[in-house]
Homo-oligomer: A and B are copies of this chain.
Amino acid sequence: MSRRPEQSVADLVGRAREGDARSVGRLISLVEDESPLLREVMTALAPHAGHAHVVGITGSPGVGKSTSTSALVTELRAGGKRVGILAVDPSSPFSGGALLGDRVRMQEHALDPEVYIRSMASRGHLGGLAWTTPQALRVLDAAGCDVILVETVGVGQSEIEIAGLADTTVVLLAPGMGDGIQAAKAGILEIGDLYVVNKADRDGADQVRRDLRSMLALAQRPEGAWQPPIVATVAARGEGLDEVAAELEKHLAWLRSSGELAKRRTRRARDEIEAIAVTALRARWGDVHGRSELDDLAAAVGAGESDPYTAADELLATFTD
């Protein structure tokens, strides 16, 4: 890759705001690389963000997450929306590479200039998703995306984190993907704003909808709260995605009218600020007086010579000195 050496952050931000895909990609790379330029980038982008509807898409492997995302993009594009797609892989702190499988399934949108597709590894630092994802979202948001779809690979903690980052969380299910206990374990029944039963043409889809409906009915929701709808789709044939898009619009309208949108965005900002502050602190206490204070303390705790609370006190003391 050739880079123009004199390209300034202001140039890059300017072109990204005009919708230049390469500049958008370059800015997300800066996020991924934890570039020292990020501060300047984020300061420049912050006033231009806040327009995009951030939609998290979660579900166990095999429910058709990538196919559904791709079909939803087709639907949103038909409605004239500019779409960003962020595929986050929190389970791969090592490789840092792109998710070839997902990219392949997204090929049909690869040439559409109004669709930004980006795979991103969230590496192993404290904060994980909380650190990189909000910043990548800000880039896509400031670049004029109307909707940003955030898809995670894998299940577990990452789903909960995505729910914390998104304005709207879509939970995908499919028949034959394990029983109710499995679903309850994954905690997905507590995070969805919209439930999609994909592969609705298969045996057992009705049962999944019935189970889901009764489980959702058990949840105590206060008056005026959002009642998560259940939509049936066959993503591979593009069926039901119009209804998904319509429900996303409804949820966004509810978020606005209820004041919940501002609340969720404040929460997202809170997590992001905290992650940045903690990262700054870690950088400081990782290298105090030319050596790693934390490593010394950890060795003492590991050897049973100290305990972690005393060590944490000592760590904080070196910082405030």
Q: Which residues of A contact B (CB under 8 A)?
A: 38-39, 42-43, 45-50, 60-62, 89-95, 99-101, 124, 126-128, 130, 134-135, 152-160, 178, 181-182, 185-187, 190, 262, 265-270, 272-274, 276-278, 280-282, 285, 294-295, 297-304, 306-312, 315-316, 320
Work out how many copies of this chain go into the complex. 2
B62 close to A178 (CB less than 8 A): yes
B302 close to A262 (CB less than 8 A): yes
For the residues of A in contact with B, the DSSP-based class is helix
List residues of chain B with CB within 8 A of the CB of A294: 270, 273-274
**Bound form: Cα–Cα A47–B266 in Å:** 43
Give the shortest distance, in Å, between A39 (CB) and chain B (any CB): 4
List residues of chain B with CB within 8 A of the CB of A265: 302
A309 close to B42 (CB less than 8 A): yes
A50-B302, A153-B185 are known contacts; what are 13 more A-B pairs with Cβ within 8 Å? A92-B185, A99-B185, A100-B181, A101-B185, A126-B126, A126-B130, A156-B157, A272-B308, A273-B294, A273-B315, A274-B312, A276-B312, A278-B281
**Bound form: Cα–Cα A185–B92 in Å:** 7
**Bound form: Cα–Cα A268–B154 in Å:** 24
Contact partner, A156, options B62, B156, B295, B311, Cβ 8 Å: B156
A270 close to B282 (CB less than 8 A): no
List residues of chain B with CB within 8 A of the CB of A93: 160, 187
List residues of chain B with CB within 8 A of the CB of A130: 126
A299 close to B266 (CB less than 8 A): yes
